[in-house]
Amino acid sequence: MAKSAAEAEAAPGTVGQAVIPLVNRLQDIIARLDGDAAAGLELPQVAAIGGQSSGKSSVLEALVGRDFLPRGPNICTRRPLVLQLVRHSASEEWGEFLHAPGRRFHDFEQIKREIQLETDKEAGDNKGVSEKQIRLKIFSPNVLDITLVDLPGITRVPVGDQPSDIESRIRTMIMQYIKHPSCIILAVSPANADLANSDALQLARLADPDGSRTIGVITKLDIMDRGTDARNFLLGNVIPLKLGYVGLVNRSQEDINFNRSVKDALAFEEKFFSTLPAYHGLAHCCGVPQLAKKLNMILLKHITDMLPGLKTRINAQLVAVAKEHAAYGDTVESAAGHGVKLLNILRKYCEAFSSMVEGKNRVSTDKLSGGARIHYIFQSIFVKSLEEVDPCKSITDEDICTTIQNSGGPKGAMFLPEVPFEILVRKQIGRLLDPSLQCAQFIYDELIKISHGCLTSELQKFPILKKRMSEVVSSFLRDGLRPAETMITHIIEIEMDYINTSHPSFVGGTKVVELAKHEVLPTKTSASLSVHKDGTIVGSEIQLTAERGQKSRAVFARDANRRATSEQGDMDAGTSLSGGSQMGNSQFVGSPSSKLHSIIQLKEPPITLKPSETEQDATEVAIVKLLIKSYYDIVRKSIEDAIPKAVMHFLVNHTKRDLHNFLIRKLYRENLLNELMRETDEVLIRRQHIQETLEVLEQAHRTLEEFPLEAEKIEKGYDLSGHATVLPKIHGLSEDGPNGIYTSSPNRYGAHQASHLVI
């Protein structure tokens, strides 16, 4: 496999020189992703945090060996600076900014000005702060491969254009970096301040409670009060950290003002540690060279530990983005291409519609969907609602009694007529029309919902096509709803037009009379309505009508007697009158009182007449009710079966069969193709963004494949003898432990040592 440019410039055969440059390349690649795409792809890096004027910038400059960062009395770092140190074999040194690709800055003063310009561009020129990164890569033979992030220093008092909550904002910005397990925290604290109150250590403890990825850096050891030293701090006796501490001597402001070089400052640092007895035996945690080696070793091991998980996350995101890219597809320009794409969309849409109706596509586990909702409407809403209806609930006994008496006309009925039953049962059957039509409307609504859920991601790219398809599908479904409603109306009318009392399930005759007898008549009169032994419906009707006949004859008899009595009375009256006239009719003839007694006045009938109720009427009402319920149940069961069949045939199955052809006829037209297949600007931008993201992730995947297999051996130890730098070696200081093995803290931490790495 061809080596990368960073590897070609690095010394061959050294695992560290292969791994860290590759991570630097990954950082540059992933930096091109936006926030959402880069989420979860945090790479191992070192973040330098500390209070304002804690010496962070001096530490970074000491690691590079050059003066290249803006300096001043107030806040200097106002944007996160991602600094990648790349070791190469040439003697030349230069810097490159990610925002200025291909341009090399050989003058480090020019690098300083570029950082200041970029800072002012985003954060303003009056001490403002921005979260947008500046990415700088420095190539030099005098550095070890390290990636650091210089974050703004914690400040409490706003100055210039800084907002009143500047401290909270900076703390939030710092936590965005150090909260990730992939980040090694370089907590910088000045020695002339109380370490227990260090802002850097307090923030580090929030993000890294067990201190497993925090390195403490104590700066300005040369300005501590006389008679004091930082030995106990460096040994971890005050605030223990598993990765230990490193003590440094920074350049003072006077050194900066007089342009004292970093190399001179490092020479002074070497002399300082070699002359003070308090720091003898602490060579592993004193000086910038030791900090560089420590950072390199820890970062290298951290990268190795994070590598498997990083590969998994990048691969998973690559698959997801590739899937989304495939969904967007390539841009089509030709009319033929538009036509093919439209036909594919229409075919997929109709297949998705049928699959959702049949329950074969995206079966949900948390709610009913598609055809299951249609079945629920038929069985749990329509059928259940009909079964809960009492057909006689809306009919009063008075209504039935009135209907019976009205059907008899002026003569009155001698037998219980069929007309009242048929009138009333037709009325109840007619009530089934509205719920049946509602059922069809519910299914129509469900089909509309299903149509909206088909191929949503594909149609999202073509808003005009989506709108036209929605209109066409709605029109098609409305056209299917009309014949379904017509059929439903016919079904109800058919049931109303022919009352089939010969239906085998219809309850009539002896049985209905018996039921009515037990419901209405008292026990003492039950014998008068006893059923004939032959058990036939005729017999029961004869029994009922016989009583009505007897009643009528009795009435007639009473009328005849009444008429006979009246005639006899008239005759007697005539005789009396005749005799009277003979005896002396002068007493009556011409008398005014005789006219008054001869006129009978009738009451006028009321406008509204109500039938009178008798025991016989109550029995007849009960019989009619039982007949209505019996026949209604027969019709209801028929309707419960016929209506879903009609809706399925005329609406649901019709849509599955003919929707595809209908869409093609309406939409597949040459004059409509360009308009229908026009994508929105948002879709074009999104496709371009997805394409770029896919390319970035593919590049990151290829870079991960270049990681050497030997990187797994780093856990056993990493030889830094080949990483000699021009940073001055501190003479006269012994190295702790056999074979010069560096540990992160005193032996008291045992298993919590950062690593046993050979130098």
Q: Write out the DSSP string of 548-607.
A: HHHHHHHHHHHHHHHHHHHHHHHHHHHHHHHHHHHHHGGGTTT-HHHHHHT--PPPPPPS
Same domain? For 619 and 492 the reply is yes
The pLDDT score that the predictor gives to residue 736 is: 42
Same domain? For 209 and 116 the reply is yes
Residue 757 pairs in a beta bridge with 742
**End residue of a domain, out of 677, 693, 728:** 677
Helix axes 537-584, 509-520, angle to 10 degrees: 60
Top mean pLDDT of 7-16, 57-66, 615-624 is at: 57-66
Read off the pLDDT band of 2 (50, 70, 90).
very low
| Predicted confidence (pLDDT) at residue 589 exceeds the cutoff of 60 | no
Cβ atoms of 46 and 82 closer than 8 Å:
no
| Predicted confidence (pLDDT) at residue 576 exceeds the cutoff of 70 | no
The pLDDT score that the predictor gives to residue 663 is: 92
| Predicted confidence (pLDDT) at residue 654 exceeds the cutoff of 90 | yes
| Predicted confidence (pLDDT) at residue 431 exceeds the cutoff of 50 | yes
The pLDDT score that the predictor gives to residue 513 is: 59
Task: Determine whether 16 is exposed, middle or buried from the number of CB atoms within 10 Å of its CB (0-12, 13-18, 19+).
Answer: buried
Tell me the average pLDDT across 410-431: 73
d(CA 90, CA 136): 19
d(CA 183, CA 459): 42
Residue 214 pairs in a beta bridge with 185
The pLDDT score that the predictor gives to residue 588 is: 40
- Largest Cα–Cα separation, the chain: 179
- What is the three-class DSSP state of 251? coil
The pLDDT score that the predictor gives to residue 283 is: 84
The pLDDT score that the predictor gives to residue 477 is: 94
Please give the residue that has the higher pLDDT: either 157 or 637. 637
Please give the residue that has the higher pLDDT: either 16 or 302. 302
Same domain? For 378 and 432 the reply is yes
d(CA 320, CA 543): 85
Sign of the Cα torsion 418, 420, 421, 423 reads positive
Evaluate whether residue 692 is within a structural domain.
no
Query: Which H or E element spans position 137?
Result: strand 134-140
- The tally of domains found in the chain comes to 2
Q: Name the token pair of 324.
A: 């989304």
| Predicted confidence (pLDDT) at residue 381 exceeds the cutoff of 90 | yes
d(CA 759, CA 757): 7
Write the DSSP assignment of 438-449 as a string of letters. Answer: HHHHHHHHHHHH
Same domain? For 504 and 473 the reply is yes
Query: Which H or E element spans position 741?
Result: strand 741-742
Q: Name the token pair of 567.
A: 């005639």
d(CA 708, CA 685): 38
User: What is the 3 state secondary structure string of 358-427?
Assistant: HCCCCCCCCCCCCHHHHHHHHHHHHHHHHHCCCCCCCCCHHHHHHHHHHHCCCCCCCCCCCHHHHHHHHH
| Predicted confidence (pLDDT) at residue 659 exceeds the cutoff of 90 | yes
The pLDDT score that the predictor gives to residue 752 is: 34
Please give the residue that has the higher pLDDT: either 602 or 496. 496
| Predicted confidence (pLDDT) at residue 414 exceeds the cutoff of 70 | no
The pLDDT score that the predictor gives to residue 582 is: 44
Q: Which of 2, 4, 245, 309 is nearest to 145 (CA)?
A: 4
d(CA 628, CA 431): 13
d(CA 198, CA 204): 10
Q: Which of 617, 549, 604, 551 is nearest to 402 (CA)?
A: 617
The pLDDT score that the predictor gives to residue 492 is: 94
The pLDDT score that the predictor gives to residue 438 is: 94
Q: Which domain holds residue 282?
A: 19-32+44-223+232-316
Read off the pLDDT band of 32 (50, 70, 90).
confident
In the numeric block, the tokens 């600007």 are attached to: 681
Same domain? For 377 and 289 the reply is no
CATH code: domain of residue 132: 3.40.50.300
d(CA 754, CA 736): 15
Evaluate whether residue 290 is within a structural domain.
yes
Q: Which of 292, 300, 234, 295 is nearest to 266 (CA)?
A: 292
Q: Which phi-psi region, left, alpha or beta, contains residue 229 (left: φ > 0; alpha: ψ -120 to 50)? A: beta
- What is the three-class DSSP state of 620? helix
Evaluate whether residue 296 is within a structural domain.
yes
Q: Which of 153, 183, 193, 164 is nearest to 49 (CA)?
A: 153
Residue 345 pairs in a beta bridge with none
Evaluate whether residue 388 is within a structural domain.
yes
Percent of the chain at pLDDT > 90 equals: 16
For the chain, the straight-line distance linking the first and the last C-alpha, in angstroms and rounded, comes to 30
**End residue of a domain, out of 316, 350, 385:** 316
- DSSP 8-class letter at 41: -
Helix axes 463-497, 419-430, angle to 10 degrees: 170
Read off the pLDDT band of 635 (50, 70, 90).
very high
- List of residues 6+ apart from 659 with CB closer than 8 A: 350, 353, 473, 476
- List of residues 6+ apart from 2 with CB closer than 8 A: none
d(CA 277, CA 260): 26
Residue 187 pairs in a beta bridge with 49, 216
Phi first, then psi: what are they for 646, rounded to 5°?
A: -65, -45
Read off the pLDDT band of 547 (50, 70, 90).
very low
Per-residue pLDDT tens digits for 108-120:
889 988 988 888 8
The pLDDT score that the predictor gives to residue 610 is: 65
Per-residue pLDDT tens digits for 524-534:
344 444 434 34
Same domain? For 359 and 268 the reply is no
Read off the pLDDT band of 728 (50, 70, 90).
very low
The pLDDT score that the predictor gives to residue 611 is: 64
Letter string b/e over residues 673-707, b meaning 16 or more CB atoms within 10 A of that residue's CB: beebbebeeebeebbeebeebbebbebbeebbeeb
Per-residue pLDDT tens digits for 232-253:
888 888 888 889 999 998 877 7
| Predicted confidence (pLDDT) at residue 655 exceeds the cutoff of 90 | yes
Evaluate whether residue 513 is within a structural domain.
yes
Read off the pLDDT band of 83 (50, 70, 90).
confident
Cβ atoms of 619 and 543 closer than 8 Å:
no
Cβ atoms of 216 and 201 closer than 8 Å:
yes
Q: Considering only 34-38, 274-278, 385-389, which range has the smallest mean pLDDT?
A: 34-38
d(CA 343, CA 668): 8
Top mean pLDDT of 337-351, 596-610, 655-669 is at: 655-669
Q: Considering only 67-81, 446-460, 470-484, 639-653, which range has the smallest mean pLDDT?
A: 67-81
Same domain? For 296 and 345 the reply is no
Q: Which phi-psi region, left, alpha or beta, contains residue 203 (left: φ > 0; alpha: ψ -120 to 50)? A: alpha
- List of residues 6+ apart from 267 with CB closer than 8 A: 728
d(CA 167, CA 150): 17
Write down the number of H helices and E strands in the chain.
26, 10
The pLDDT score that the predictor gives to residue 651 is: 94
Sign of the Cα torsion 241, 244, 247, 250 reads negative
Within 10 Å of residue 529's Cβ, how many Cβ atoms?
19
Same domain? For 372 and 427 the reply is yes
Tell me the average pLDDT across 591-618: 64
- Angle (CA) 89 94 99, round 5°: 125
Task: Determine whether 189 is exposed, middle or buried from the number of CB atoms within 10 Å of its CB (0-12, 13-18, 19+).
Answer: buried
Alpha helices in 2-50 (DSSP H): 5-9, 15-30, 35-38
Alpha helices in 259-334 (DSSP H): 262-275, 288-328
Same domain? For 276 and 360 the reply is no
Evaluate whether residue 732 is within a structural domain.
no
CATH code: domain of residue 494: 1.20.120.1240
Cβ atoms of 145 and 25 closer than 8 Å:
no
Q: Would you say how long the chain is, in residues?
A: 759
The pLDDT score that the predictor gives to residue 350 is: 92
Cβ atoms of 131 and 119 closer than 8 Å:
no
Residue 274 Cα to chain centre, angstroms: 64
Q: Which of 46, 48, 47 is nearest to 58 (CA)?
A: 48
- Angle (CA) 264 265 271, round 5°: 90
The pLDDT score that the predictor gives to residue 615 is: 57
Task: Determine whether 359 is exposed, middle or buried from the number of CB atoms within 10 Å of its CB (0-12, 13-18, 19+).
Answer: middle
Same domain? For 310 and 345 the reply is no
Residue 94 pairs in a beta bridge with 139
Average pLDDT score, the chain: 74
Same domain? For 401 and 287 the reply is no
Read off the pLDDT band of 658 (50, 70, 90).
very high
- Angle (CA) 338 666 370, round 5°: 90
Q: Name the token pair of 147.
A: 């990636």
| Dihedral, CA of residue 536, residue 541, residue 544 and residue 548, to nearest 10 | -150
Evaluate whether residue 602 is within a structural domain.
no
| Predicted confidence (pLDDT) at residue 6 exceeds the cutoff of 60 | no
Same domain? For 244 and 279 the reply is yes
Evaluate whether residue 189 is within a structural domain.
yes
